[in-house]
Structure 1
């Protein structure tokens, strides 16, 4: 299994033979190699990232200087290829001596199909992006979402809705105090689903209310209902803003029923659990029939990791003393980002 140290070998170079089911010794050796790589990765990446993305992966084949690793879903494979490949290849090099590339593939994907996908201009399978009902913040992507221990269930529940596995549990209620990343998660989910060709509605509580009331005034209720009830994924953020709005809440219940009966999924974000908002029982019972996930503020160690990720996105480095000061503060994600951006601005003066 050892490769000669030296220049990185690209697919098409070298002469490695794929590991087939009939070559039991090679298959066993390949599994052992990948387990050793996973052991190193547990020390290299956060526990949260390891459990979300890398846990459950298996080595599929080794051929032409490239290790193909089967992920738990097509989306996870795509995400890891974009975000984790460098650290995975570094750990693989430590185990195997360098010169190997790594590519994650979807469950059951044939190696030749994976190669064709990687060779396409986009690097991913083509998909038709559907227009979203509402507005999605393009900066809020799932790839940039920081997975913390306090957001693990919420992230996993949302990921299941855009992965290729069945069945996914819906509705999903994501709740937590202001500024912990709920909107980022919901908008990232909307963008991911839309990019995969799903019909999506992503509205805040106020947005849903204003659209519905405008439809009532203009006599376009049927058009409004066609737009929001015919989606495959309905996302309502800031559910707490609907408290006390009897007519809008009644319409929301009918909308949830229509989306669910049509085979779609529902995700809502809120500062509190549905029952704590004093919402109607029939709405609470529908929402609580799925998953209710809390998003909690970062733990102390996670604050620094989040700051380092943001600095990497900005391609900026700050002195260690500055990182420590930023990481030891308290506050929401918004306040952390404000501190980071202020420090970066001062450094650039």
Structure 2
């Protein structure tokens, strides 16, 4: 595994033009493909430019056959982004053999005979600690992953469990740890749910499960992504093996890091004993980035995509787009495409036009009525109750919560908000907003509910 990675790392550094074109293609492919398909089949590919031909090196013949289904789209992207850098735009799939073998165009694909039962998925070369934008929303997770992956770290917190909504950087941090381990000559295994299930079941069917576990346990770092997708009750044998590996990598000298969209305590697809074991390590939340951090992300991504993005444009995008990294990057690509097609620099007018549909879609999702209805659903009452005259605490408090959220998220006026709640006057709405601000400082349950609802709205 490490020899394969070293070979591809050297290939990328020796062929900068091919790598740059491929990075631009990756940005488009990541948005177009399902996340699991992109991570499993596209990120392991490595570019090599040979006599004007862009060759994609693959870890084995299985990849060659599968990636052929994406080949037409890849060629189109290379044609778009390769002008000037690649004279003869063709894409050929060649299987990497040994570190000393140089891949040739049109060479017959060969695979090296291997007795290994399991192979790790490859890691994204761009997912490093240097490329991660750190802020208040993710600083605990970043600091822990950064510190615990250092060669001479004096800390040992046991398993790391990173949780948060999709697109916030969980996979980025885990890949960054793997890069650090690789740099120090240590080994790792990286699994998504699909890859772990398929390789585990294959080992069970072939009666090689002991060798499967032995090979994985020989590594220094185990990375398990998409933990929320595992079903410990429907696939108990796979879960048993997973938890056995978890216990092994929880020992001193080993490290296990997992990612999920929810904390261990809410992993209801596992039994109570497994939940208790998963909760025994370091649980770290990654929250949606605040305004300042979203601007930083946009500026960093713009630099990587070679977009000259004025700061006022970055601020406008941060204010009007959902706060996940993937969505921000997709909007940036729309801006770049619009500027390229029109042959003009990026301006506020161009940005407004390029992301108009995304802004309007978000605005429609975040109006007063939708927020009111979401709060009603959250507290398991009807929207009619919030609009009615009942003043019982179990209705009045959610009503005040909804008013405060609408005011913060939409910036509607107090009279406009009052109309959504049965025609209440502006002083009632003002009182509601002030009351929720007061309770957030004194009542932890109100502060928690407000934060949860805010996160739900940000991903609406």
The answer, yes or no, to whether TM exceeds 0.5 is: yes
Shift of 1:317: 0.6
Give aligned pairs, total: 219
* Structure-to-structure mapping, 1:217-256, within 5 angstroms: 217-243=205-231, 244=233, 245-256=235-246
Query: 1:214-243 CA deviation, whole Å, 9 max, x = no partner?
Result: 111122212211222222111101001112
Question: Distance in 1 between the 2:254 and 2:191 partners?
Answer: 16
Deviation per residue, 1:274-325 (Å, 9 max, x gap) = 2212122332222222210000111012111111111222332124453233
Structure-to-structure mapping, 1:264-303, within 5 angstroms? 264-278=254-268, 279-303=270-294
Aligned residue for 2:170? 182
> What residue in structure 2 maps to residue 322 of structure 1?
313
Q: Alpha-carbon deviations, 1:133-191, whole Å to 9, x = none?
A: 22212221221011121111111111122112212212010000111111111112112
Corresponding residue of 2:123: 136
Q: Deviations over 1:15-64 (max 9, x none)?
A: xxxxxxxxxxxxxxxxxxxxxxxxxxxxxxxxxxxxxxxxxxxxxxxxxx
Distance 1:324 1:167 in 2: 38
Write the deviation string for residues 97-124 of structure 1: whole angstroms up to 9, x where unpaired. xxxxxxxxxxxxxxxxxxxxxxxxxxxx
Q: How many Å separate the matches in 1 of 2:119 and 2:157?
A: 22
Q: Is the 8 A contact 1:230 1:259 kept in 2?
A: no
Distance 2:246 2:312 in 1: 50
Larger RCO: 1 or 2 (CA < 8 Å, sep 6+): 1
Structure 2, unmatched stretches of 5+, are 1-117, 342-460
Question: How far apart, CA to CA, are the structure 1 residues paired with 2:192 and 2:252?
Answer: 22
Distance in structure 1 (CA, Å) of the matches to 2:209 and 2:119 = 19
Q: TM-score, normalised by structure 2?
A: 0.45
CA contact (8 A) 1:141 1:191 kept: yes
- The reply on whether 1:197 has 2:185 as its aligned counterpart is yes
Give per-residue Cα distances to partners, 1:53-95, cap 9 Å, x unaligned.
Answer: xxxxxxxxxxxxxxxxxxxxxxxxxxxxxxxxxxxxxxxxxxx
- The structure whose Rg is larger is 2
RMSD (CA atoms): 1.9
**Distance of 1:312 and 1:147 partners within structure 2:** 16
CA distance in 1, matches of 2:119, 2:153: 23
More helix as a share of residues: 2
Give me the TM-score of the superposition, normalised by structure 1.
0.59
